[in-house]
Amino acid sequence: MCGIAGKLHFDTTRSVSPQLIRDMCATIVHRGPDDEGIYTDGPVGLGMRRLSIIDLAGGQQPIANEDQTVWVVFNGEIYNYRELRPGLEAKGHHFATNSDTEVIVHLYEEFGERFAEHLRGMFAIALWDKTRETLVLVRDRLGKKPLYYAEHEGRLVFGSELKTLLVDHIPRDIDPQALHEFLSYNYIPGPRSIFRVAKKLQPGHVLTARRGRLTIAPYWQPELAIKPESRTRPVASYVEQLTEILKDSVRYRLISDVPLGVFLSGGVDSSTLVAMMREVSSERIKSFSIGFEDESFNELPYAREVARHFETDHYDLVVKPDALDLLPKLVRFFDEPFADSSAIPVYYLSELARRHVTVALGGDGGDELFAGYETYAAYKMAEWYRRLPRSLRNLAPRLVAQLPVSHAKVSFDYKAKRFIQGALLPPERGHYAWKEIFSDEMKKQLYAFTTAEPLQDPFQVFEREFAACRHAPMLSQLQYVDQRVYLPDDILVKVDRMSMAHSLEVRAPLLDHKLVEFALTIPPELQLKGLKKKYLLKRALAHHLPAKVLSRKKAGFNVPIPSWLRHDLRDYVQDVMSERRLREQGLFDPGYVHQLIRDHQDMKVDYSRNLWGLLVFTLWHDAYGAATQPYANASSCQHFPARKEAAA
């Protein structure tokens, strides 16, 4: 596990400074505190910071092939490297280390730019082929490891985090479309970044730079393959196959030369990992949980019950987050606006785990693969709702609007109001509406700028993924879209940055690509049976987990942001988003922002997710000195596209 960075001049007569690569690596020392490695040769420079996990003595990077014509740095783990090595040795390749890194260079020699098809793991790879004067960048299939790049003024710079690119002074002009999408999602979907010139390499893609020309292409594309015969296959057969793949996936991720543990919330996904770890290993398991003083946000009792059941060495901690101290740190770790508030508990959980282990398994991916989100149940309920008599459909929104605002965790009024918001829309639009933070109508009042080109509907991010799976049942489409957007650009970003902030490697067994490919064949009626979420996964775990774990409602990893914004952070919010600061920023209308603050603090409307996004963005803007020259001040933005679909 490492952080990587590098640069390529398209003019081969120019040389990359070793000091520049060191400076880039210095910005991500938290990703790899154990070692540094630098390679420069004329127009190219590669660098890495290492967190030693496998082959502690011999796994330093960069690593080259026998004649030093191919060099590689990479961030992540290749779990099947021991299986790949004998085949490569049989073809005449000689290994100088026992590390997983060295497998990459020899695979490239055999298979060229398709080498990543043979890898099972999480990775962001940079490889220099000296003979062909070619730089190859590759990102793992699901996007577990990040990789940013920028092509600007005759050079390509890249790195594990956006801050590495800033060392080489790329322009900091804000991409207005990225801002527009951030305000809709509270994260920025790839391939965009907050800066115009910087991009994210998409999951499952390879970028090749040769003689000044960049090409980007997928090497893996998930395919929904729910065939007619899938729906007549016995449930027991699915259960058996799923159980075996789960065991295999966990077994691979126990490979480590350093202490290893598991995040445990007491929910189905993390409990599944503990159960499978107990099945495939005789080692005593270390498990980690955190809780909160607010009981509606505290899951420690559930985690402790699972820990007792499996007799783990369990460590937990009740935290009272200091948001005033933590927020500026989070902004620095994320580099671009990111407003998923569950990053806070992941930060504290990673801090706790790192006191005892260097590697932890996490349950990310279970909700997307096995239909665990409330929005999937909402889709099913919306189908029923649309069949109600018109009089009842007209009455329901008025009744829901009268519900008093509650700031408890996932309160009934919050869920009811969000449901009504998208219930009468087409399913694709409804799915987006349930996730949307700022609507177009709200943005029209919020924006204090115009753009040269019309801003595109943020729904297009979902729409391009829906277009790739129109043949599948609707529930499967919703899951697919979340796997392709929400998972890599929110969930995995959050876990990567917060764990790496503490130099902790987190592995995601539920995102093994073999398991993902299997999940894409599961019929929707085995994913969501009635309103029972994760039906097949729970069937597979019925003989492994306590009944209480399987029957408890999904809680989510949340913090009491609505209450904080009314109490602990009340003055802080007013100060950070003062009229003076907002006018200097020139992006948002101060009067509208302050109206949102008042309405939330007076408990008229729960605007917590909106305000958290604005708060994070403002702190980010101050910290990164982002350029706002592309914008012209105006009373409101007039460049909004019309919705493509109307309400049913």
Q: Choose among 399, 379, 310, 397: nearest CA to 530.
A: 379
Query: How far does CA 337 lie from the centroid of its chain?
Result: 13
Q: Is the dihedral of CA 572, 573, 578, 583 positive or negative?
A: positive
Continuous H helices in 423-546: 427-435, 440-446, 460-466, 474-484, 486, 492-500, 513-519, 524-527, 535-540
Q: Choose among 450, 54, 500, 550: nearest CA to 254.
A: 54
Helix, strand, coil percentages for the chain (3-state, nearest 5): 45, 15, 40
Alpha-carbon distance of 643 to 648, in angstroms, equals: 13
Q: Choose among 456, 519, 457: nearest CA to 487.
A: 519
Alpha carbon distances (Å) from 96 to 70, 100, 493: 14, 11, 34
Alpha-carbon distance of 513 to 220, in angstroms, equals: 10
Alpha-carbon distance of 534 to 602, in angstroms, equals: 38
Q: State the greatest distance between any 2 C-alpha atoms of the chain, in Å, as a whole number.
A: 77
Q: Choose among 422, 415, 413: nearest CA to 382.
A: 422
Q: Tokens for 226? A: 């729910």
- Contact by Cβ (8 Å): 458, 180: yes
How does strand 260-263 pair with strand 359-361? parallel
Q: Which residue has the tokens 């979902």?
A: 462
Contacts (Cβ under 8 Å, ≥6 apart) of 460: none
Given the residues 2, 25, 469, 637, select the one marked as catalytic: 2
Q: What are phi and psi of 213, to 5 degrees?
A: -115, 130
Q: Is 2 a catalytic residue?
A: yes
- Contact by Cβ (8 Å): 338, 493: yes
Contacts (Cβ under 8 Å, ≥6 apart) of 300: 266, 289, 290, 291, 316, 318
- Contact by Cβ (8 Å): 36, 53: no
Q: Which residues are catalytic?
A: 2
